[in-house]
Structure 1
Amino acid sequence: MSVESNTVNTVLGPVPAEELGVVSVHEALLSVVPGAEHAFDITIDRAEIFEVLAAKLKDFHEHGGGTIVDSTGMFHGRDVPLYATLSRTSGVHIVASTGQGPDAMLGGYFLTPQTNPPTPWPADRFADLFAREVTDGMVVPRVERRGGAGIVATSATREGMTATDESLLRGAARAALTTGVAVSFRHGSDAVQELDVVLDEKLEAGRVAVGGLDREDAVAAGAPLAVARRGAYAVLDHVGTEDGAHISDAERAALAAQLVRAGHGDRVLLSCGATGVAKGHPGNDVPYSHLLTTFVPLLEAQGLSDEDTRRILVDNPRDLLSGR
C-alpha cells in the first residue's frame, strides 16, 4: 500500500496536497537526544511542552504558515499523539517523518553484531522499517502504530559518509520508491556524492530534498547549484541562523535569488531548522515564523516576485510532499 497520488500524510491523516499552504520543510518540534529522557536532570513535562509548541505554531499560522514538516525521524523525541493535538489546536498541518541517522546517532541494535567488526543493517532492512511507518503507521510506544509518516528523513555524517550512512540513504530511497513519499536528507561532507547514492536507487531526483545547503562549506563547494542541476531540491534550512558555520540571511536571500535567476526556482526550498523544544542538547530557538516575517522581505529586496516566493514556499514543497 502506498500514499495516494496528490495527497500528503499528516498526523491527522491524509490531506490533499493543495491544502498545505506555506510549508517549512525542515523543522523540529520536540527534539530529544536518545536516552536523555532517562537523565536525572531532564524533565519531560508534556503539558509544558504542549504549551510552548502550541504558541510557536499559532504564531507561525498567524503569519501565514500552513504546514510544518517535522524532519527529526523516529527516535529523537517524535510524539505523534502530541503532534496530532497540536495540529488540531493551532490549525497548522504537521507532517511527521520516519527515518533516522546519521551513523553516530544509531544504537547497536541497528548493527549486525555477529560480524567483526559489526556491520550496519543492509539497506533493505532500513527500507522495510521506514516503509512500514508510512503504510502501517508510525510506531508509538505502548500504543503500537498511529498515522503514516509523510516523508523519509535521514542524515549523513558530517565528517564523511560511512557504510551505515550509505545503507540508510539507500534504505530511505527504497522506502520512498515502494510507498510514494519523498526523501529528505541533511548532507554530511559531500552533498552531491550523497545525492548520487540516493539516485543510484532509481528514485527520481524530484523526489529528493537535500538539506544543509546554506552551510558555509556547502556554498563554497557550489553544492546548492549542483544539487538543483541534478533535479533535486536544494534546501536552505537554517534561515535565521547566523553562527559562522552558515551563511547569513542576507547571503541566503542572494543565493536563493541566484538559483531562481539560473532557472532553478522550482528546485529551491526554505526552512529555519528551528527546534520547538529541545531536551539534552541546545535548541535552535528561531521562531518558525521568522521565515515569513523577516526572510521573505529579504527575498523581495533581491528582486524576487510574489510568484517566485509562492513557488518556493507553496508550490515546491507541495510537489515534493505529494504522494506518487
Structure 2
Amino acid sequence: MTDTTSVTSKTVNTVLGPVPAAELGVVAVHEALLSVVPGAQYAPDVSMDRAEIFEVLAGKLADFREHGGKTIVDSTGMFHGRDLKLFEALSRSTGVHIVASTGMGPEEMLGGYFLTPQTNPPTPWPAEKFADLFSKEVTEGMVVPRVERRGAAGLVTTTADRAGMTATEESLFRGAARTALDTGVPVSIRFGADALHDLDIVLDEQIGAGRVLVGGLDRRDAASAGAALAVAGRGAFVGIDHVGLNEDAGYLTDHERADLVLGLVRAGHADKVILSSNAIGVAKGQPEYELPFSHVVSVFVPFLKTRGLSEEDAHRILVENPRDLLTVR
C-alpha cells in the first residue's frame, strides 16, 4: 500500500481551491453532477430550476458521503452542464470535495465556433489552440461565460467518436495532453474505436502514461480486444467506469466487470484500476439515470470482496489510485 505521507505536500484542484491529496478519501472519478445536452437549457419544455437541482444533487452527494465517499469528479468538461457556482455551494453544503474538469468532445458535440475553419484551405482547430483554451482553465480558472473565471480545473477530459477519431478529435486529444503536461493536472480520455491508438496519440505528446486515464474500458468491444490489460501494461490508468450498467449490450455486466477487475489485480495491475459509474445526478435533455453515486463503494466493491478482492486492494482502487491520478504534479 502506498505511504500517504509521501503525498501530504501534494494537492488536488477542487472547486473550492486546492486540497491536500491525502484528504481525498474514497473518490468517484467519472461522474456527472448536472448533465445538460447543449441547447437543452433553452428548450421551453426543460426546467432549469436551480433550487430543485441543488436539492436533488445535495441529497445524492449526502448519500455518497454516508456510504464513505469523500470526493467526486464531474467529468463533463466545459459544455455539458458544468455550473461552478452550483458546485461550490454543493461542496460547502455537503462536505464532499468536488473536482471539476475542462475539455470537450467528441466532435459532434462541439459548438460551431470550435468547428470553424481556421485556415484557407480549411483545417481543424490546431492542438495548440485547444491546449491554450484548456490550460487557461487550469491556470487562470474555469470560465463562467461572459462573467468571470472561478476555481481551477482539476482534470482535462476529451472524447473521440465511437466510429474512430476524427482530425478535430486528434487536435482535442493532443491539446488535452499538452494541457496536462504544462499544468500538472491529469488527462482523461474516452476512446473512439481503438483504445490503444487513442492512448498513443496522447502519449506522443510526451506526457507520462501515469498521468492518463483511459475510460470506457468496460465496453464490450474493448474487453474482447483485451484493451484493459494492454492499457495497464503501458502504464496508464484503466477506467472501468460504467459500474451498475447491466442492461446495455455494448457494455459488460457487473459480474463481467468483476472478472475484469480481478483479472487485472491478478496480473499485477491493482495500482492502475479506476472504478466509477458514469452516474448522472440531474439530467437535462436526456433520460434520467437513477444510479446513486455511492453504487461503486456500497454495492460493487463489497461484491468484489466476496469474489476475493483483498481489503488492501480495495483501498488501493478506491482511495490510492484516484488520489495518485488527480494529484497535481
- TM-score normalized by the length of structure 1: 0.97
Q: Which residue in 1 is equivalent to 2:328?
A: 323
Contact 1:5 1:322 in 2 (8 A): no
Q: Which residue, 274, 285, 295 being the options, matches 1:280?
A: 285
Amino acid at match of 2:150: R
Aligned residue number for residue 190 of structure 1:
194
**CA-to-partner distance for each residue in 1:204-231, whole Å, 9 max, x for gaps?**
0000000000011110111111100000
Q: Following the alignment from structure 2 to structure 1, what is the Cα–Cα distance between the partners of residues 95 and 251?
A: 31
Moved more, 5-14 or 146-155: 5-14
In the TM superposition, residue 115 of structure 1 has moved relative to its aligned partner by 4.7
- Distance in 2, matches of 1:307 and 1:299, equals 12
Q: Do the aligned residues in 1 keep the contact of 2:124 with 2:171 (CA within 8 Å)?
A: yes
CA distance in 1, matches of 2:300, 2:72: 17
Alignment-derived partner of residue 310 in structure 2: 305
Task: Tell me what 2:263 maps to.
Answer: 258
Equivalents in 1 of 2:48, 2:19: separation in Å?
A: 31
Measured after TM superposition, the shift of residue 114 of structure 1 is 5.4
In structure 2, how many angstroms separate the alpha carbons of the residues matched to 1:251 and 1:116? Answer: 50
Give the counterpart of 2:62 among 37, 40, 58: 58
User: RMSD of the alignment, in Å?
Assistant: 1.3
Shift of 1:152: 0.3
Deviation at 1:250, TM superposition (A): 1.2
Contact 1:111 1:118 in 2 (8 A): no
Give 2:226's aligned residue.
222
Q: Quick check: 2:9–2:20 contact (8 Å CA) kept in 1? A: no
Q: Which residue number corresponds to residue 298 of structure 2?
A: 293
Q: Does structure 1 residue 46 correspond to structure 2 residue 50?
A: yes
Q: Which residue of 2 aligns with 1:167?
A: 171
The list of structure 1 runs, each at least 4 consecutive aligned residues, that deviate by more than 2 angstroms after superposition, is: 111-119
1:105-120 counterparts in 2 under 5 A? Answer: 105-113=109-117, 115=119, 118-120=122-124
Deviation per residue, 1:16-63 (Å, 9 max, x gap): 000000001000000001111111211111100000000000000000
* Structure 1: runs of 5+ lacking an equivalent: none
Tell me how far 1:188 sits from its aligned partner: 1.2
Is 2:17 aligned against 1:13? yes
Aligned CA distance change for structure 1 residues 50 and 318 (closer, same or farther; 3 Å):
same
| Offset, 1:117 | 7.0
Measured after TM superposition, the shift of residue 298 of structure 1 is: 1.5
Distance in 2 between residues matched to 1:134 and 1:263, nearest whole Å: 33
The 3-state SS of whatever aligns with 1:263 is: coil
Aligned with residue 314 of structure 1, among 312, 319, 327: 319
SS of structure 2 residue aligned to 1:169? helix
SS in 1 for 2:287: coil
What is the correspondence of 1:125-204 to structure 2 with a 5 Å cutoff? Answer: 125-204=129-208
Q: Residue 87 of structure 1 corresponds to which residue in structure 2?
A: 91
Q: Which residue of 1 aligns with 2:245?
A: 241
Distance in 2 of aligned mates of 1:18 and 1:285: 30
CA distance in 2, matches of 1:84, 1:129: 22
1:117/1:221 Cα in 2 relative to 1: closer, same or farther (>3 Å)? farther
User: What secondary structure sits across from 1:197 in the alignment?
Assistant: helix
